[in-house]
Amino acid sequence: MTRPKIDEIYVSVDVETDGPIPGPNSMLSIGAAAFMPSGEMISTFSGNLETLPDASGDPDTMKWWTTQASAWEAHRKNIRPPQEVMSNFISWVKSVAGPSKPVFVGYPAGFDFLFVYWYLIKFCKHSPFSFSALDIKTYASAVLKCGYRSVTKGSMPDRWFGKSPHTHEALDDAIEQGELFCNMLREHLSSNEEK
């Protein structure tokens, strides 16, 4: 089946890490789900990464992981070298985007994009997203016409949420937040068309 030509593909990305910053800490897992602007999910990607050789887990983060035993275990299965995972990620992004531009979507983008961009440049010298990332919370703040700090998932309308769970497993969370973003986007664009 041939997809209609569109300008953008939204790539919802979630990472799980053992600390707050890349380099001193490691990305454990990356999950991504590619969505058409209509909200149709067209493909997913996931990979678990070996930790960086000179990095170590942040004590507070590692303490939190002790409360998430099943998610931690999931992130430590089938681990692969970071260069392999990130190279495969780039290939996947390019294949799902085709002639369209891939848009990185995160919640919070400031955290997930920080890790993904750092790993892409360190191991592959290239980012298919350039320097840009779309933050779901920022978008919600604009749509809801309220202050950024007042926006939480609890303040968002129930209709924006899909059925996918938030499990702290990267792929599950990427799908969940991608559904949230696409529902928000579709509603916002349709309300603009009605004006």
Which member of 75, 166, 168, 188 is catalytic? Answer: 168
Residue 75 designated active-site = no
Q: How would DSSP label each residue in 54-68? A: T----HHHHHHHTT-
Query: Which residues, listed in sequence order, are joined to residue 29 by a DSSP beta bridge?
Result: 16, 48
Calpha distance 84→43 (Å, rounded): 19
Amino acid at 99: P
Rounded to whole angstroms, what are the CA distances from 146 to 49, 143, 187, 195?
A: 38, 8, 17, 20
DSSP letter at 26 equals -
Backbone angles phi, psi at 9, to 5 degrees: -120, 130
At which residue do the structure tokens 């990464």 appear? 49
Active-site annotation, residues: 168
